[in-house]
Amino acid sequence: MATTEAIQALADLVYASQTTGVSSDAMAAAAAAAGLDATDPSDVIMQSQALVQEYGYKPGAASGFYENSTLNTSPLDAGLNAHYTASQTAINEYGYLESTQANIDKYAGKIDPATGEPYKFMVNDNVANAQFIEDYMNQNNIETTVASTVSSVPS
């Protein structure tokens, strides 16, 4: 049986995999620590997503990944937490919508009656996300994050 900490670490890596990217080795190590068979690299992400879903995490949801988690409501990793918090702020305080196909079909090109302006969409871009996390880490003297070890930040 996996520990709570192992599931939380795996959840952070699953979130990182859709935010900045994750090395196969890091994902396999976290999956194995959570009790999964990590011998087949092509199956590790699917197994990992399925396992974290059992704890209420929502793989694939950029802004709501931690929303229904029974273990933690935001990433434990400092860099990922900064990104997740910024995404939540964009949605909850500034009215941005996730760029899902359903939202695009329903709201693209339309006026938000609450603001009188066109609806605003967030873009989930791995390089931009990695740059945001890297900048946050540098500004706050944070040396390690699962995101920074795998992200592709332009130099």
Among positive and negative, which fits the CA dihedral 5, 10, 14, 17? positive
Is 68 among the domain residues?
no
In this model, does residue 108 exceed pLDDT 90?
A: yes
Distance CA 41, CA 17 (A): 14
**Cα–Cα nearest to 24, from 130, 150, 131, 143:** 150
Tally of domains within the chain: 1
Structural domain boundaries enclosing 37: 4-53
Is 90 among the domain residues?
no
Q: 10-28 pLDDT, tens per residue? A: 999 999 999 988 888 999 9
Is 76 among the domain residues?
no
Is 134 among the domain residues?
no
Q: 119-131 pLDDT, tens per residue? A: 999 988 888 898 8
Distance CA 87, CA 99 (A): 12
To the nearest whole percent, how much of the chain has pLDDT over 70?
94
Q: Which two tokens stand for residue 62?
A: 């950029």
Is 40 among the domain residues?
yes
